[in-house]
């Protein structure tokens, strides 16, 4: 599908998630021992979800992660997400801006922070595209969109699913220069396979603002791009299942480093969020559930989805006997490493 126009591909992705999950394995949260405290003195209206991130005060520690932009329905999604984020004081990212660099007429579909109503608003680019464009050009575009920074995504596995298997090559050593030239916060993410301890070691030498795990156990872009009718599909899926690094495992490895962490990949409930905070994340992020909620009800679906997850998080904090998400860090962990599902 390499010849498929980018706009078709983006709308195909949105449609795919209306119908089904593209989750790979288990994000590993079930190995975090976060039990209720029968003697909790925290009443359900007491937990305070306000969270500091990159020097900004957020209404709650939930990022509406990168999904789309560049088509009329992508614009509808981004506007609905921005309304929800502005109401609740949540940070939000758009999907890849590559289509915007190829076709400037798509700008309105990304332009959802016209009055600066979002507490934090981020753009998104694949690392190869970003390095090709250069930090100054990308900065000019994200400033135009009143963005506070950029998510730079790595998608090695996804590229391998795209025939003909031409991996877009780039020079990893150019990433720090890109970040310096961009001169605004750069956050790093994956697209469903997570980061290894060696990756994290390398990334820790870059001047990044934060890292989103985008680990295995949630949406996986290798599966999104794979041809499910191919004879080899099941075998290859199993391979990816064994090689993807679950979100909880990435969080555990990343605790050794000082950059702020966003737990993404398979975060579905308030309990998943709480367990991610117990593992050291400052924010949780979600993508596929947003698409499903918006598809079911474009007007109110995202609001209802977010309100319910934040109510669940308050409930879990109350049960665990803590008042703020950050007070969860230090919860007991089951030392067993997550196994592939
Ligand atoms: C429809 C869809 C489109 C996405 N597009 C992008 C993208 O353009 N850039 C990116 O970095 N990640 C993209 N992602 C990945 C998400 O940002 C997120 O990292 C991943 O889906 C894991 O979260 P989840 O398990 O909550 O879906 C997309 C995800 C979905 C569901």
Which contacts of 11-15 are long-range, i.e. CB under 8 A and separated by 24 or more positions? Answer: 11/71, 11/73, 11/74, 13/68, 13/224, 14/67, 14/68, 14/73, 14/74, 14/77, 14/291, 14/295
Q: Provide the pLDDT confidence category of residue 115 given band limits of 50, 70 and 90.
A: very high
| Confidence label for 242 from pLDDT (cuts 50, 70 and 90) | confident
What's the CA gap between 118 and 133, in Å, rounded? 26
Spacing, Cα 46 to ligand 1 middle (Å) = 33
**Please, which pLDDT band fits residue 31 given cuts at 50, 70 and 90?**
confident
- Which band of pLDDT confidence, cut at 50, 70 and 90, is reported for residue 317? very high
CATH of the domain spanning 6-328:
3.20.20.70
Instruction: Choose one of 15, 20, 219 to mutate for the ligand 1 pocket test, by most ligand atoms within 8 angstroms of C-beta.
Output: 219
End-to-end CA distance of the chain: 29
Q: What is the mean pLDDT of residues 224-253?
A: 88
Q: Bigger pLDDT: 330 or 81?
A: 81
Residue 167 has pLDDT above 60, yes or no: yes
C-alpha 265 to ligand 1 mean position (Å): 9
Ligand 1 atom nearest to CA at 66 = 17
Mean pLDDT of 91-103: 97
| 3-class state of residue 18 by DSSP | helix
Q: Over 60: is that where the pLDDT of 147 sits?
A: yes
112 vs 80: CA distance, rounded Å: 9
Asked if 273 and 264 count as a contact pair (C-beta separation under 8 A), the reply is no
Which sequence spans correspond to the domains of the chain?
6-328
For residue 219, the CA-to-ligand 1 centroid distance in Å is 7
Distances (CA, A) of 142 to 206, 215, 269, 290, 324: 21, 26, 31, 23, 32
pLDDT of residue 223: 82
Q: Which two tokens stand for residue 191?
A: 């697209």
d(CA 229, CA 340): 23
Return the DSSP state at 327: G
Which ligand 1 atom minimizes the distance to the CA of 214? 19
Residue 130: pLDDT band (50, 70, 90) is: very high
HSE-up of residue 183 (Cα within 13 Å, Cβ side): 7
Q: How far away, in angstroms, is 45 Cα from ligand 1 center?
A: 32
CA 68 to chain centre: 12
Q: What is the CA radius of gyration of the chain?
A: 19
Between the CA of 2 and the centroid of ligand 1 the distance, in Å, is 19
Nearest ligand 1 atom, CA 218: 25
Cβ neighbors of 226 (< 8 A, separation 6 or more) are: 161, 233, 236, 237
Instruction: Please state, for a pLDDT cut of 90, what percent of the chain lies above it.
Output: 75
What the block records as the tokens of 114 is 């016209």
Q: Which of 121-125, 196-200, 240-244 is least confident? A: 240-244
Q: Calculate mean pLDDT across residues 278-289.
A: 96
**Does the pLDDT of residue 330 top 70, yes or no?**
no
State the pLDDT at residue 256.
87
Nearest CA to ligand 1 atom 15: 191
Q: What is the DSSP string of 80-125?
A: HHHHHHHHHT--EE-S-SHHHHH-GGGGGGT---TTS-SSSEEEEE
Query: According to the model, what pLDDT value does residue 226 have?
Result: 81
Structure confidence at residue 144 (pLDDT): 98
Token pair 């979100």 is found at 247
For the entire predicted model, the pTM comes to 0.95
Task: Give the residue, by CA position, lying nearest to ligand 1 atom 11.
Answer: 153
Per-residue model confidence (pLDDT) at position 333: 62
- Binning pLDDT at 50, 70 and 90, where does residue 331 land? low
Atom 4 of ligand 1, residue of closest alpha carbon: 67
């Amino acid at each position: 599908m390499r010849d498929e126009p980018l706009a078709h591909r983006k709308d195909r992705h949105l449609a795919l998630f209306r119908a089904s999950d593209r989750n790979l394995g288990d994000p590993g949260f079930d190995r975090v021992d976060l039990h209720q405290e029968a003697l909790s003195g925290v009443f359900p209206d007491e937990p305070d979800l306000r969270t500091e991130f990159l020097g900004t005060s957020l209404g709650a520690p939930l990022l509406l992660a990168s999904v789309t932009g560049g088509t009329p329905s992508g614009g509808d999604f981004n506007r609905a997400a921005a309304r929800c984020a502005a109401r609740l004081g949540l940070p939000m990212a758009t999907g890849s801006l590559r289509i915007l660099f190829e076709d400037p007429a798509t700008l309105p579909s990304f332009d959802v922070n016209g009055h600066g109503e979002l507490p934090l608003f981020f753009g998104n680019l694949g690392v190869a595209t970003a390095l090709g464009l250069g930090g100054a050009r990308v900065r000019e575009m994200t400033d135009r969109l009143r963005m506070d920074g950029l998510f730079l995504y790595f998608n090695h596995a996804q590229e391998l699913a795209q025939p003909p298997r031409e991996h877009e090559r780039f020079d990893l050593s150019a990433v720090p220069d890109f970040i310096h030239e961009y001169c605004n916060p750069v956050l790093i993410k994956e697209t469903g396979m997570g980061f290894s301890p060696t990756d994290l070691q390398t990334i820790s030498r870059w001047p990044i603002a934060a890292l989103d795990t985008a680990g295995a156990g949630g949406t996986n872009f290798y599966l999104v791009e794979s041809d499910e009718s191919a004879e080899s599909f099941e075998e290859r899926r199993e391979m990816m299942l064994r090689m993807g690094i679950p979100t909880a495992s990435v969080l555990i490895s990343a605790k050794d480093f000082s950059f702020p962490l966003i737990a993404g990949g398979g975060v579905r409930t308030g309990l998943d969020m709480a367990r991610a905070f117990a593992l050291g994340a400052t924010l949780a992020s979600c993508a596929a559930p947003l698409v499903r909620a918006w598809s079911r009800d474009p007007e109110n679906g995202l609001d209802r989805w977010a309100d319910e997850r934040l109510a669940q998080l308050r409930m879990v904090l109350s049960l665990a006997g803590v008042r703020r998400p950050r007070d969860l860090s230090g919860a007991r962990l089951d030392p067993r490493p997550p196994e592939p599902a």
